[in-house]
Amino acid sequence: METKKAIISVKDLVKKYDDFVAVQGLSFEVYEHEIFGLLGPNGAGKTTTLEIIETLRAKTSGDIIVDGFSVDKHAQNIKQIIGVQLQAAGYYPNLNLVELIELFAGLYGADIKPMEMLEKVNLQDKAKAKYKALSGGQKQRFSIATTLINQPKIIFLDEPTTGLDPQARRNLWDLIIEIRNAGTTVVITTHYMDEAEQLCDRVAFVERGQIIALDTPDNLIDKLVSSGFERKKEVKKANLEDVFINLTGREWRE
């Protein structure tokens, strides 16, 4: 069997906000070239965990190694090999997409061609548009393009498909899979279980700052079924989303 190499290793991570323990001793590994999902209810500690790995937030204790670099000693090296989605507020309102990419490339010292970055996320037709004039799906694709500017080994996507319509979500899944297939490791959070099932190679369920399950979606489902679980209703061969997609097509729109 193929041996998997960990590109992120989190050991006994604890994060306290004053007396409140938001992350309570998390340990997990993310393998190279996988799409790894962090799932769990609101407030479970997913964003806190991601921000600590991204070196954007201080931890209380624990050890984190990202591609051989420790968050304690080599935060700068980690920043150079990761891509993080910026919040919309970080985009200057008067610049168009090409100018924004040029700006970020300048900050990273990255030698890239803005149009090539926009082509990767199918936004070449919007090169001269301002960020605020984009649809929800286009905004998400643009922000994914910005994570790729420094040609990172790992990108972090925090709920990238929230609020998107079914086509835009599926198109974004295809884009994320392409990025993984091109060799980038992807760490993603989502509240959509169908998305995690389709997209993630492995998922960790986080609850109250602890990991309560970690495996491939298939193994987790098989385990539940073998424990005697059965759905109450017979499952239909399609769902309402399939009807929507079938009626309105899968092509890019917006």
Residues of this chain that bind ligand ATP (CB under 6 A): 17, 20, 22, 40, 42-48
Closest distance of CB 170 from ligand ATP, Å: 22
Choose between 57 and 130: whose C-beta lies nearer to ligand ATP: 57
Are 50 and 23 in contact by the 8 Å Cβ rule? The answer is: no
Least distance from C-beta 83 to ligand ATP, angstroms?
Answer: 19
Closest CB to ligand ATP among residues 41, 106: 41
CB of 202 to ligand ATP, least distance (A): 18
Question: Which residue lies nearer to ligand ATP by CB, 33 or 59?
Answer: 59
CA atoms within 13 A on the CB side of 221: 10
Least CB distance to ligand ATP at residue 210 (A): 12
- Least CB distance from residue 42 to ligand ATP, whole Å? 3
Q: Which is nearer to ligand ATP, 46 or 126 (CB)?
A: 46
- Residue 66 burial (10 A CB sphere; 0-12, 13-18, 19+): buried
Q: Between residues 49 and 147, which has the closer beta carbon with respect to ligand ATP?
A: 49
